[in-house]
Amino acid sequence: MKKFFILTFFLILIKNVVNANLEILTTDKYSSLSTLNDEKLLKFENDLFFGIKINLLPGWKTYWKNPGDSGETISLKFLDNKNIKKHEILYPPPKRYFDSDIETIGYENEVIFPVKLDVIDTNQDFRTEVNINYLVCKHICIPINEKRVINYNPRNISENNKSILAVAITQNPIKQDSFFEIQEIDIGEKKIKINLKYFDNKNQALDIFTFSENHEFDYRIIPVGKFNSQILLVSNSKFELKDKLEVLIVNKTNGNSNILNINIGNKKNHQSIIFMLMIAFIGGIILNFMPCVLPVLSLKIYSLINLNKDDKDKILFYSLATAAGIIFSFIFLSIVIILLRMLGNEVGWGIQFQSSEFLLIFALILFFFSLNLIGFFEIFMPSIFNRLNNVDFKNKYISAFFTGIISTALATPCSAPFLGTAISFAFTQNDLYTVLIFTALGTGFSIPYFLIVLSPNVLNIFPKPGLWMIKMKYILGMLVLLTGLWLLSLMNLNSTALYFIFILVGGFGFYISKLELSKNILTILLLLISSFIIFPKKEQNDEMWLKYEKNILQEMIEKNNIVFVDVTADWCVTCKINKISTLDKKQMRSFFKENNVKLFKADWTNKNIEIQNYMKTFNKYGIPLNIVYGPKNKEGIVLGELLSKKKIIEAINEVK
């Protein structure tokens, strides 16, 4: 009888367990899914969203993009719709859960996943079914598949920034303001050290979550002083150049969170500040020899000649004054960049040339400076203006300092080897590093004057003062005039009128300088040829080049096309050199056609946030920027600042 009762008890127990599990497997009471804004997509900061809301019974969980030791993240598949180019799931900050020795990362009770849609044609209605797969777990894990319908009507868009979905987006890590700044990122073979400084000058209680396709990480948070911390990440395997890492940093005190994306293949993360200062210094030196700095070199040459004429004892001070003008200007630029960043503005190398006000003011400064060089002020200006002019131009120290400022301003639309690397590093670092990098650039750019300080005899390479200096002064004045008129031409002023001004001023200047026509025909011809080159011509539409559009570019890349992108601007002299020397050459154009290379031109002459964001994906803040894509490399290969046929062909063959 006793055995009978024991057997009956176990049969009832087994039945209850089986029924409980059958209930789990045959009902969905442990989880419910609903979609937000599926009939009326939400427009938030120019992006389109719908939401996925999952409710879970107590004890049940679903997972983050890195689920931990077990689990599976949510995934979506859109069915039969060609108007959705891609989608991105935004994950809210997760929590850690431990069961025995198993760690999982995810959510309980309720979670909202905003889904950002990249729509190809925003004017076209569409209706699509989406497959939603996710996993819920308690003692066992249940995979769930749900199907929902998403409708898009461009005339029926929600912009309610107080809706449940909008609030979920604003609380997402990628939308929150940063509560820290990165001091340094040091990457080793298997370790990453991230040094943080907190904005509120108080150490925080942090939680760290990592996501990488190829690595799992252990982490440790090390306090450094009163206001800093170091995050130490240790991978389970060695890094490769193409590895990428996403680090979610959560402030456990107030729930704020930020995402830090680290491209391990990005060499800047491997470099110390000392190394980058050396790169910036070398870039500044090389900038002196770039073809786009020829107007600057003309000012420097005339300045050197004047120094040689004066008392040798003053050469040291004049040289230091010019170098001080250059370094002051670079430091001033760094401070402007810091202020713009603090105000939330996007910054880039040479962006002042996108301002018509800057172009006009600076063109006028160069125009009057050229008239002074040619001799107009001595002939035509009333005596009161001559006295004012003497303050600005006859005071050699002020003149030397002013020459340094002009040199820097004219150099900013130029790029050079090492310069792009240094600028990109400076634009992404803290304020101190930004100032240090720009100071190193200015020091390198000033090196000709420091050489004079060290060895004044270098000026003896110039002939003794004589009639040749009148001719040189006229030529340099005309080159500066060309530069000023070129700046005006960037404002789409009539090139014929500007050319007429050049001829008129040049003719009067020739008369004032009392130069003999028969002895200066070659000089005049060279100046005329230079004027034809420097004034931009209205380009005919080139069918080979497509206008840059993010969606079209991405579509071409996804279809395994070979793609070449040229980010350029009318004010970028280095870009013009690349075009004349390489891109417009018949052999290069023939190569593009033979290999069916899709050519995209991204014109950054005027402010364009979309192009600037595209540049930032490569950690670039200046132009020229040229990228090659292909079936073997859809991330893109970035070419150097100065192009050559050989470099382009090698890159294209590499991505085929």
Entry field: residues in the chain = 656
Give me the amino acid identity at 186. Answer: D
Tens digits of residue pLDDT in 614-654: 887 777 777 888 999 998 888 788 888 888 899 999 999 88
- Three-state DSSP state, 465: coil
With beta carbons less than 8 A apart as the criterion, state whether 104 and 63 touch.
yes
pLDDT at 75: 93
pLDDT at 290: 65
pLDDT at 225: 66
pLDDT at 367: 77
Q: What is the DSSP string of 291-351?
A: GGGHHHHHHHHHHHHHHHHS-HHHHHHHHHHHHHHHHHHHHHHHHHHHHHHHTT----TTG
pLDDT at 292: 54
Q: What is the DSSP string of 225-282?
A: TTTEEEEEEEESS---TT-EEEEEEEETTT--EEEEEEETT-GGGG--HHHHHHHHHH
Tens digits of residue pLDDT in 319-351: 888 889 889 988 988 888 888 767 656 666 666
In this predicted structure, which of 396-405, 529-538, 604-613, 622-631 has the lowest mean pLDDT?
529-538
Mean pLDDT for 9-28 is: 43
What are phi and psi for residue 630, nearest 5 degrees?
-170, 175
Q: What is the DSSP string of 296-312?
A: HHHHHHHHHHHHHHS-H
Cis peptide before 382 (omega within 30 of 0): no
pLDDT at 209: 93
Q: Which two tokens stand for residue 544?
A: 């080979």
In this predicted structure, which of 94-103, 491-500, 550-559, 640-649 has the lowest mean pLDDT?
491-500
pLDDT at 268: 42
With beta carbons less than 8 A apart as the criterion, state whether 215 and 243 touch.
yes
Mean pLDDT for 453-457 is: 74
pLDDT > 70: percent of the chain: 73
DSSP conformation class of 460: G
Residue 464 banded pLDDT, cuts 50, 70, 90: low
497 pLDDT above the threshold of 50: yes
What are phi and psi for residue 398, nearest 5 degrees?
-65, -40
Contacts of 390-395 with C-beta under 8 Å, sequence gap 24+, read none
Instruction: Compute the mean pLDDT over every residue in the chain, rounded to the nearest whole number.
Output: 77
| Those residues with Cβ within 8 angstroms of residue 162's Cβ, 6 or more apart along the chain or in another chain | none
Highest mean pLDDT among 224-228, 415-419, 426-430, 550-554: 550-554
With beta carbons less than 8 A apart as the criterion, state whether 303 and 393 touch.
no
The residues that bridge with 626 in the sheet, in sequence order, are 566
Q: What is the dihedral of CA 223, 225, 229, 232, to 10 degrees?
A: -60
Tens digits of residue pLDDT in 220-247: 888 776 667 888 888 888 777 567 889 9
| Those residues with Cβ within 8 angstroms of residue 74's Cβ, 6 or more apart along the chain or in another chain | 52, 62, 63, 89, 113, 132, 133, 134
Mean pLDDT for 355-368 is: 75
Say how far apart CA 112 and CA 35 lie, in whole Å.
9
Say how far apart CA 350 and CA 625 lie, in whole Å.
13
| 78: Cα separation from own chain's centroid | 32
The residues that bridge with 110 in the sheet, in sequence order, are 55
Tens digits of residue pLDDT in 19-63: 444 334 434 578 899 999 988 999 988 889 999 999 999 989 999
Say how far apart CA 564 and CA 544 lie, in whole Å.
11
| Those residues with Cβ within 8 angstroms of residue 271's Cβ, 6 or more apart along the chain or in another chain | 279, 425
Choice between 535 and 367, residue whose per-residue pLDDT is larger: 367
In this predicted structure, which of 68-77, 536-545, 549-558 has the lowest mean pLDDT?
536-545
